[in-house]
Amino acid sequence: MGQIDHFRLLDTGIHSAEYNMALDEAILMHVARGDIPPTIRFYAWDRPTVSVGYFQRIDRDVDRERVRARNFSLVRRMTGGRAVLHDKEVTYSVIVPGNHPYAKASVIESYRQLSLGLCEGFIALGVQAEVVSLADESERTKYSTLGSAACFDSPSWYELVVEGKKIAGSAQVRAHNGLLQHGSLLLDLNPDDLFDVLTFRSEKERERVRKEFDERAISVRQLTSRNISYQEAVDAFASGFARGLHLELSPMTLTEQEEKDAVQLMHEKYMSDSWNLRR
């Protein structure tokens, strides 16, 4: 996109898992209706949270007893993909109406375009990330995986990798006549926390998948030996999106109606077993 595109920039800070997911959906609804501009949002979580993909089976993939024992949150996303442990990260969402070029592009192409902004954000933090395409068979073979319930064990069609390891995980949905892509930007990584709450058919399988995970995922701290603060990361990725996607970002706040709708969605949907345990 050669010309400058105007987006709203939100930094909503730390909230509960249920509110974070509800707010992404509430913003999507209002952006799609044209009430507010296309939006890039950054946020964090009030405690470690396992988010599972829309199509994922919790009873098969997640040990809910272990989640409770560790005082983690558990929530289902409206996007697809596998389980993610949100903890030492910055989470982003990009939300556009259905008539925006990102939404009119194919899923694969929109991933590619948005990855350019993420890549610039990592570069701003001193991490030489690159956008990897799995469109050809040789790259798919290179990044093939045994498969597990965990999101970060292999890149998707277009992902951010450093030295062959995944450093960001994203998921996308087209709903409410708009597009939402959100994802985790790993500032630090403790796989023990994630693998403690996932279920496996045997300990041997757990160990095998854990070993593969270590070979597939990496964090900013591991690459730079720096503890990047939330604010430093938000600033870097905001500038990265602006530079990589040719955006003009206008810092704004939530509208009163967005907040109201988010609270309603939180109580009626994201806090309910009928949503979170639906599969």
Residues acting as catalytic residues: 151
Dig out the tokens for 115 from the structure: 């990855």
DSSP structure string for 122-145: HHHTT---EEEE--SHHHHHHT--
Long-range own/partner contacts, residues 136-145 (CB < 8 A, 24 or more apart)? 143/216, 145/212, 145/216
SS3 call for 234: helix
Distance (Å) of CA 75 to CA 2, 20, 169? 38, 10, 17
Dig out the tokens for 247 from the structure: 């955006």
Q: Which alpha helices (DSSP H) does 43-106 contain, by range?
A: 58-61, 64-69, 101-104
SS3 call for 44: strand
Dig out the tokens for 9 from the structure: 């920039």
C-alpha to C-alpha distance for 128 and 266, rounded to whole angstroms? 37
For tokens 């991933």, name the residue.
111
To the nearest 10°, report the CA torsion of 268, 95, 72, 262: -30
